[in-house]
Amino acid sequence: MITMLWKELRENVKWAVLALIGLVLAEFYALNQDQFFGFYVQEAAPLCKSSFLMITTFGCAAVGLVIGLVQMLPEQRRDQWAALIHRPVERATIFRGKAVAGLFLYFVATTVPFIACVWYVATPGHFAAPFSPGMILPGVGDICAGAIYYLAALFVSLHRGPWYGTRAFGFLAAVATSFFVMSDQLFYVVIEAIVLMGMALFTAAWGAILTNGTFRGQPWIARFATLAVVFYGVCVVGSLADRIWSAFSGPNYYFGDMFIVDVDGRPLKMSTHKDGTRSYVDLAGNPVNDPRLFKGMSDRNVIQFIPLTAGIDVSHQDKRFIYYNGGGYRNTANYLESVYAYESVSSENWYYLPHERQLVGFNPYNRIRIGAFGADGFAPDSKPVRGFSSPLVGSQYGQISTFARVGNQALYIDYGQRTLTTIFQGQPIFAVQQISSYTADPALQNTVAIALQDKIVLVDKTGKLVGTLPYHYDVNLWGALQIGVKSAKDPIYIIYSPTSWLKPEVSDQMPSHLEAVDFNGNMLKSYLLPHLHRPNDPRTWQQFITENLQTPTYYIGEMVYDRIGAMLGIKHLIQRDADWRGPRQGEVRDHVPRILLLSFILAGVALGWARRRQFSWGEAWRWAGFTFLFNLSGLITFRLVADWPVCIKCPSCGRPRRVDQDTCPHCAAAWPKPTVDGTEIVDEPALPAAAQ
pLDDT tens sequence across 418-463: 999 999 998 888 889 888 655 667 778 788 999 998 999 999 988 9
Give the pLDDT of residue 535: 60
Verify that 171 and 35 share a domain, yes or no: yes
Which whole number is the average pLDDT over 349-369?
90
Give the pLDDT of residue 33: 77
Give the pLDDT of residue 57: 94
C-alpha distance across the termini of the chain, in Å: 60
Look at 340 and 179; give whichever has higher pLDDT: 179
32-41, 60-69, 268-277, 475-484: which range is least confident on average?
32-41
The answer on pLDDT for 537 being more than 90 is no
- Burial class of residue 162 in the structure, from the number of CB atoms within 10 Å of its CB (0-12 exposed, 13-18 middle, 19+ buried): exposed
Report the alpha-carbon distance of residue 10 to residue 31 in Å, rounded.
33
Give the pLDDT of residue 38: 41
Residue 685 lies in a domain: no
Give the pLDDT of residue 196: 94
Residue type, 62: A
Residue 335 lies in a domain: yes
Residue that is last in its domain, among 485, 520, 553: 485
Q: Are 409 and 375 spatial neighbours (Cβ–Cβ below 8 Å)?
A: no
Q: Which domain holds residue 355?
A: 305-485
Residue that is last in its domain, among 485, 509, 535: 485
Report the alpha-carbon distance of residue 334 to residue 329 in Å, rounded.
7
**For 65, how many CA atoms within 13 A lie in the half-sphere containing its CB?**
16
- Burial class of residue 254 in the structure, from the number of CB atoms within 10 Å of its CB (0-12 exposed, 13-18 middle, 19+ buried): middle
Closest CA to 557 of 523, 506, 606, 592: 592
Q: Is 254 helix (H, G, I), strand (E, B) or coil?
A: coil
Which whole number is the average pLDDT over 495-506?
84
Verify that 414 and 476 share a domain, yes or no: yes
Q: Are 267 and 208 spatial neighbours (Cβ–Cβ below 8 Å)?
A: no
Cα–Cα distances in Å, from 245 out to 176, 253, 386, 633?
18, 18, 53, 18
Residue 650 lies in a domain: no
Verify that 579 and 448 share a domain, yes or no: no
46-55, 161-170, 260-269: which range is least confident on average?
161-170
Residues sharing a CB contact under 8 Å with residue 211, sequence separation 6 or more, in sequence order: 217, 218
Which whole number is the average pLDDT over 232-256?
73
Residue 319: band (very low, low, confident or very high) from pLDDT cuts 50, 70, 90 = very low
Report the alpha-carbon distance of residue 90 to residue 585 in Å, rounded.
54
Residues sharing a CB contact under 8 Å with residue 360, sequence separation 6 or more, in sequence order: 130, 350, 351, 352, 353, 369, 371, 372
Give the pLDDT of residue 125: 87
Q: Is 674 helix (H, G, I), strand (E, B) or coil?
A: coil
Other Cβ atoms less than 10 A from the Cβ of 605: the count is: 14
Residue-wise pLDDT tens digits, 375-409: 999 999 889 899 999 888 887 556 788 889 998 89
Report the alpha-carbon distance of residue 610 to residue 621 in Å, rounded.
9
Look at 159 and 377; give whichever has higher pLDDT: 377
Residue 654 lies in a domain: no
The answer on pLDDT for 298 being more than 60 is no
Residue type, 38: G
Residue type, 611: R
Which whole number is the average pLDDT over 409-413?
92
Radius of gyration of the chain (CA): 34
Which of 208-212, 298-302, 482-486: highest mean pLDDT?
Answer: 482-486
- Containing 14, the helix (H) or strand (E) segment is helix 2-32
Q: Are 647 and 613 spatial neighbours (Cβ–Cβ below 8 Å)?
A: yes
Verify that 452 and 576 share a domain, yes or no: no
- Containing 485, the helix (H) or strand (E) segment is strand 480-485
55-64, 218-227, 333-342: which range is least confident on average?
333-342
The answer on pLDDT for 544 being more than 50 is yes
The answer on pLDDT for 667 being more than 90 is no
Give the pLDDT of residue 531: 83
467-484 b/e (C-beta count within 10 Å ≥ 16 → b): bebebeeebebbbbbbbb
Give the pLDDT of residue 3: 76
Residue 601: band (very low, low, confident or very high) from pLDDT cuts 50, 70, 90 = very high
Residue 605: band (very low, low, confident or very high) from pLDDT cuts 50, 70, 90 = very high
Residue 508 lies in a domain: no
Look at 483 and 273; give whichever has higher pLDDT: 483
Which residues is 302 bridged to in the sheet? 262
Verify that 11 and 46 share a domain, yes or no: yes
Give the pLDDT of residue 316: 47
Report the alpha-carbon distance of residue 543 to residue 562 in Å, rounded.
24
Closest CA to 551 of 624, 625, 633: 633
Q: CB under 8 Å, gap of 24 or more: what pairs does 176-183 form? A: 176/232, 176/233, 176/235, 176/236, 176/239, 177/145, 177/148, 178/57, 178/61, 178/145, 178/148, 179/236, 179/239, 181/57, 181/141, 181/142, 181/144, 181/145, 182/57, 182/330, 183/328
Look at 1 and 198; give whichever has higher pLDDT: 198
Domain count, the chain: 4
Residue 348 lies in a domain: yes
Report the alpha-carbon distance of residue 151 to residue 203 in Å, rounded.
10
Residue-wise pLDDT tens digits, 621-655: 999 999 999 999 899 999 888 878 878 888 888 78
Give the pLDDT of residue 686: 55
Give the pLDDT of residue 43: 65
Give the pLDDT of residue 39: 45
Verify that 207 and 96 share a domain, yes or no: yes
Q: What is the mean pLDDT of the chain?
A: 83
Report the alpha-carbon distance of residue 638 to residue 234 in Å, rounded.
11
The answer on pLDDT for 198 being more than 50 is yes
Report the alpha-carbon distance of residue 449 to residue 433 in Å, rounded.
5
Verify that 298 and 311 share a domain, yes or no: no
The answer on pLDDT for 339 being more than 90 is no
Could you tell me whether strands 278-282 and 267-272 are parallel, antiparallel, or unpaired per DSSP bridges?
A: antiparallel
Q: Is 513 helix (H, G, I), strand (E, B) or coil?
A: strand
Residue that is last in its domain, among 248, 264, 279: 248
Other Cβ atoms less than 10 A from the Cβ of 529: the count is: 17
Closest CA to 329 of 174, 173, 133, 175: 133
Verify that 310 and 298 share a domain, yes or no: no
Which whole number is the average pLDDT over 661-665?
80
Give the pLDDT of residue 17: 94
Name the percent of the chain lying above pLDDT 70.
Answer: 86
Verify that 263 and 360 share a domain, yes or no: no
Residue-wise pLDDT tens digits, 569-583: 877 778 788 777 776
Closest CA to 311 of 502, 580, 170, 540: 502
Give the pLDDT of residue 252: 52
Verify that 330 and 361 share a domain, yes or no: yes
Residue 690 lies in a domain: no
Could you tell me whether strands 480-485 and 492-497 are parallel, antiparallel, or unpaired per DSSP bridges?
A: antiparallel
Verify that 84 and 128 share a domain, yes or no: yes
Residue 345 lies in a domain: yes
Residue-wise pLDDT tens digits, 555-573: 888 888 888 888 888 777 7
Residue 371: band (very low, low, confident or very high) from pLDDT cuts 50, 70, 90 = very high
Verify that 272 and 404 share a domain, yes or no: no
Which of 43-52, 135-144, 567-576, 578-587: highest mean pLDDT?
Answer: 135-144
- Burial class of residue 285 in the structure, from the number of CB atoms within 10 Å of its CB (0-12 exposed, 13-18 middle, 19+ buried): exposed
In total, the chain counts a number of residues equal to 692
The answer on pLDDT for 263 being more than 80 is yes
